[in-house]
Amino acid sequence: MAEGPRSKKDSKIEKKGRGKKKRNKRKLAVWMFFTAAIAVVCGIIGYMLIILNGERILADNQDKLILPEASTIYDAQGKEVTKLGANREVVDFAEIPELMRDAVIATEDQRFEKHFGIDLYSIGRALVKDVVARSAVEGGSTITQQLAKNLFLTQDKTFFRKATEASIAVAIEHKMTKDEIITMYLNRIYFGKGAYGVKAAAEYYFNTDLKDLKLWQIATLAGIPKAPSTYNPINHADKSKDRRAIVLQLMYDQGYITKAEMDEAKAVDYKPVTHTAKQTETYQAFVDYVIDEAEKVSGLQEEQLRISGYKIYTTLNTQAQSAMEKEFEDDNNFEKSVDEQQEQAAMIIVDHRNGEIQGLVGGRDYVNKGLNRVLEPRQPGSSFKPITVYGPAIETGDYSPSSILQDVKKCYGSYCPSDSNKVKYIGPITMRQSIKESRNASAVWLLNEIGVKTGLNFAKNLGFELDSSKDRNLAIGLGGLTYGVTPFQMATAYSAFANDGKSVDLHALVKITDKEDDPVYTYNAPESEQVMKSSTAETMTDMLQGVLEKGGTGVNARIDRPVAGKTGTTQNGIPGLSNGYNRDAWFAGYTPEWTAVVWMGYDRTDKDHMIKKSSEQSAAMFGKVMREAMKGVPKGSFKKPAAEQEAEKPPVGITNFSAVYNELKSAVQLAWSPVDGDGMTYRIYRKATGEAEFTKLLDSLTTTGVDDLNIAPGMSYEYYVTAYDPAKDLEGSPSATVKADIPEAEIEPPANPDEGTPGNNSGGGNNGQGNNGQGDNGQGNNGQGDNGQGNNGQGNNGQGNNGQGNNGQGNNGQGNNGGGTVPPGDSGNGTTPPDQGGGPGNTPANGGQTPGDGSGATTGQPGSDDAGTNSGSGNAGTGNGTAADPGTGNDGGANPGTGTEGKRTNASSDGSQPVIISPQSSGSSGNNATGNAPNSGTP
């Protein structure tokens, strides 16, 4: 259907709609125009306000363009010590190397030549990072803004501070050219170690003028301002080198240098330079440490602390500090070096009652090097023994100063510690003597007994975070650590021993106030922790005092007040060089009031730079310094260990101990002087050739002498004896160790084992005896073959008035089954022991029958004798084997006499050949008694 013509009414409506749209567009255009205009006006006004604000700040703070106000250091008495003046030298633009300017621009502000003080691109990038991190982590500051901040503002990153910084930056750009801005920046920026400006930094770190700087040096300097205490090459050479590599990469990326130049500069290692005395400051090592501590605890940066007019109150004891510096300046206290590398040292003194550092010295000519060796890790040697061995052992409750340790040459797997004493491996030794003489073998033995884990845990309680995998070994007992420890850490640990086992928080800073004396920081001591039992601390202090007594390793540390301490040395560590010289020498000690630690050594140890005087020079330095430093400090005294106060002391040590081999008795005769005390007993300890440790041989002895019969020919035996009080369960210190050498024995050839030839009864000798006279036993020989036996030879007793005759002797023939080591008993009757003969008579009684055939552990067969009057007895021969019990004979005899025993044959230790051993002493006279008694023949 065709569309009809539109009405006039519809046409009017359509025209009206088009007109309305045009009016709306015009309104939008007008609105946008005015909005843009307002924005432009606001921008202009804002810009003008920023400029005006910056101009106002510049006008009101013209004085800040001059050298900032130095902060002041005060000692423990509140007296001014020094002002932290700036080391600054101003240079002109023309004196600054172009490459130096390029390095700073490439690192700090790549768009420096293009922006007008504010880099909107950098600000946008910073805002994005801040949003992502949800905190102000990126500054986005230009070099001009950094200069503004350096001149007028603080280090916070708030929006208002940044806005003010931006206004000052724009104002600076209005007032100064780019060259003037970069010149002022490089003259004022802080480069660490007290150096302000690039010229001072070049001289301090490289001892060179600006114009002579090399690329790697320029890049090193350009990397420092971001974090001076972190990236300066003296404090952290590795971090500085890493930062230098970043700077060089940025310079290469922006076309300032070539890749070859970049690679060459990256590879250079920094070596510290020597400074002149003019660059030193009063008590420099202590001041530097205070600044570092203040930076950590207050949140202020080093630059602020130095030049913001702060008042910094410290714990410094100027008397102690001066005493240290005086002795460190005396070359006579050090070994003479073969060249310019001199022996170095470090020392720190602490009041362990409150943790206040009295003073510290970081090295000889410390300020010339800037390396604080109080904070440098070194191997502690034996000074670590109280921390990983003796302290942990006492803490267990299983050991005391009188506990017996073993100072013996022994390997623990592949680890073989050795004593460094002149007399090595003295065997049994008390813990007190072990620590006094600094014995290594006994220390490692003790650590092995208590367990390495026990030592590590004790060290951890004292603040040492040792490597849980690399340091889990016995070497920690001698201070052999993966990364070493610092004198500062050692002072902290020894302070706990001195402070009744409680932790001590070492600190040098008391408070900081601003120019108006408003507090900025105040030290609050943390709550002390009990890191060991108080009894452990008291016992350790008691033992460590012995180190300074005669015979101890620390006698040079003695002063006019009580001192406890420990020496320590480490081997030179140079492969293939064994000369007894050392790499490190320590003394860590304390009085009842102060703790001090001394380290001495070379920064770089090599064949020409080793310590020859051991730890005696460290102990001497301790004594010299502390004697002067503590003048006027009230003298205190150490508490006696509670256990020592409550309990009686153990028995005293044994004296006059001797060990003598008696050939007749075939025994080692031991004898010693008695110890006073009721019910006292004695313990014998023995170590044979080839044995690593002493073992208890005899116990509960009440006599002062005993024979050791359990010995073997050709062996050597060492002995010591202790007194033991069973009522108190206390064992005294060991006697001196004595040694007995057993001579090789004569070997008699055996009979042919295959023939089984019987004995020949050839041993008879006639004893002429009168009534109750004395005669010796005749002996018959047992012939033995393979499972065959010979007859007993008999000796005949002659008669006569008081006449005496000697024993005839026959030897045992032996076959393959011989093997007993124990002689059978004699056929005696009454109380006569087996080595005694019978009395006179006309007819001898039958000798004991053949002993067991000696095959294995056969017990000897008893002999039998007919009863008779005045019967004699024959001593049976010994079978060769492992027979355990002697045989016994039965005889009724009256009026037995006593004779000297003829030689008997003992089996050799391996059961193969008989060995001739000299006899024991003769038997005692008979007692005319009759009766049966078993033999007690001795092996």
Which among 167, 240, 298, 382 is annotated as catalytic? 382
What tokens does 84 get?
A: 């932290």
Alpha carbons 771 and 603: distance in angstroms, whole number:
93
Q: DSSP H helical segments within 358-486, as ranges?
A: 366-369, 385, 391-396, 431-436, 440-450, 452-461
Buried-exposed string 504-534: b where 16+ CB fall within 10 A, e elsewhere: bbbbbbbebbeeeeeebbebeeeeeeebbee
Alpha carbons 313 and 304: distance in angstroms, whole number:
16
Alpha carbons 653 and 739: distance in angstroms, whole number:
18
Alpha carbons 594 and 564: distance in angstroms, whole number:
11
- Cβ within 8 Å of residue 741, ≥6 positions away: 661, 716
What tokens does 555 get?
A: 């006698």
∠ CA 627-383-465, nearest 5°, is: 120
Alpha carbons 450 and 148: distance in angstroms, whole number:
63
Counted residue by residue, the chain has a size of 939
> DSSP class of residue 277?
G
Which among 108, 327, 437, 718 is annotated as catalytic? 108
Q: Tell which residue, 694, 839, 668, has the closest CA to residue 767.
A: 839
> DSSP class of residue 389?
I
Please indicate whether residue 298 is annotated as part of the active site: no
Alpha carbons 895 and 188: distance in angstroms, whole number:
120
| H or E element at residue 737 | none
CB 376 within 8 A of CB 346: yes
Q: Tell which residue, 917, 913, 902, has the closest CA to residue 818.
A: 913
Residue with tokens 């900032």: 68
Q: Tell which residue, 824, 839, 825, has the closest CA to residue 898.
A: 839
Alpha carbons 833 and 415: distance in angstroms, whole number:
53
Distance (Å) of CA 742 to CA 167, 716, 718: 100, 6, 11
Please indicate whether residue 827 is annotated as part of the active site: no
Alpha carbons 375 and 839: distance in angstroms, whole number:
89
Alpha carbons 598 and 567: distance in angstroms, whole number:
10
Alpha carbons 341 and 899: distance in angstroms, whole number:
83
Buried-exposed string 850-876: b where 16+ CB fall within 10 A, e elsewhere: bbbbbbeebebbbbbbeebebbbbbbb
What sign for the dihedral angle of Cα 822, 827, 828, 830? positive
Q: Which residues are catalytic?
A: 108, 382
